Amino acid sequence: MNSFVLSCCSTADLSAEHFKERDISYICFHFSVDGKDYPDDLGVSYPFDEFYKAMANGAMTKTSQVTVGEYVEYFENIIKQGKDILHLTLSSGISGTLNSATIARDQVLEKYPESKVYVVDSLAASAGYGLLMNKLADLRDEGMTIDELYEWVIEHRLECQHWFFVTDLSYLVRGGRVSKAAGIIGGALKICPLLNVDYQGRLIVRSKQRGINAVIKAQVAKMEELAENGLEYAQECYISNSDCYETARTVADLIESKFPHLKNKVKIYSIGTTIGSHTGPGTVALFFFGKKRLD
């Protein structure tokens, strides 16, 4: 048995089964649909297909992060089991949850000064965050200590590449990432922006492609350009999607045809309700390890 727990937020957007299989603990964010509150618990309380259907029908969604009090209770429950904690938060470029987790850690360590509670900004989101957690689980199972894992993730977290596109600009307009005028023009021209998560963990529009086929090609080209060892890439690759599985499958098939040495087939997950509230349905995100993000 390990003397520590690997932990993250539910916004790592893997499945409950995957987290259980890899022995990764998680704490849930929160969201609301038309004023009714739910936990972001990987689709258990509110199935993903129903959530994205509600969004498409005009439902208003909001999200809220884990509170300091929730983190304190969560960390204490683990420490009472005699375990130390390595907790990675959703990127600080997207959420303020790092601050809440850090405050909670400090409060818990005042009460349990002999314990170790590491809180790390993942600088990652969705299944890219999940891919990073899965890699830490691999390294843990290979025998790394909590201190070694902490040092490893600080050094390597920016090697987790995130590239995604959206097919409906209205949700980016609502979130202020695209102007209303640009959204109207882009919608008329069938513009699909290609975005990534930058070195500060922020969502950045990198290019604008006209049509779904063009943006898929541009997305896969980024993996060819940036993946560790190029077309010889031999680590795992994850894709997450918001109610557009067939499009995600198209991307996965293309990746598998171009990268014959992948570790396992591409895994496809659903974008959770927290991230999905801001990207909307019709989003496909691609995650892999590669060159360190420098901008």
How confident is the model at residue 94, as a pLDDT? 93
How confident is the model at residue 279, as a pLDDT? 86
Rounding to the nearest 10 degrees, give the CA dihedral for residues 42, 174, 219, 260: 0
Distance CA 187, CA 168 (A): 7
Strands 4-9 and 24-27, sheet pairing: parallel
Amino acid at 57: N
Residue 39, beta-bridge partner list: 30
Distance CA 161, CA 206 (A): 13
Phi, psi for residue 103 in degrees, rounded to 5: -60, -45
pLDDT digits (tens), the chain, 295 positions? 569 999 999 999 999 999 999 999 999 999 999 999 999 999 999 999 999 999 999 999 999 999 999 999 999 999 999 999 999 999 999 999 999 999 999 999 999 999 999 999 999 999 999 999 999 999 999 999 999 999 999 999 999 999 999 886 666 556 555 554 344 344 444 778 899 999 999 989 899 998 999 999 999 999 999 999 999 999 999 999 999 999 999 999 999 999 999 999 999 999 999 999 988 899 999 999 999 999 9
The answer to whether the CB of 131 falls within 8 A of the CB of 18 is: no
Distance CA 7, CA 104 (A): 14
How confident is the model at residue 167, as a pLDDT? 83
Helix/strand/coil for 210: strand
Amino acid at 281: P
Helix/strand/coil for 215: helix
Distance CA 102, CA 78 (A): 16
Strands 283-289 and 160-166, sheet pairing: antiparallel
How confident is the model at residue 174, as a pLDDT? 62
How confident is the model at residue 170, as a pLDDT? 65
How confident is the model at residue 186, as a pLDDT? 46
Distance CA 264, CA 245 (A): 19
Which helix (H) or strand (E) covers residue 31, if one does? strand 29-33
Instruction: Supply angle C-alpha 263, 264, 266, rounded to 5.
Output: 105
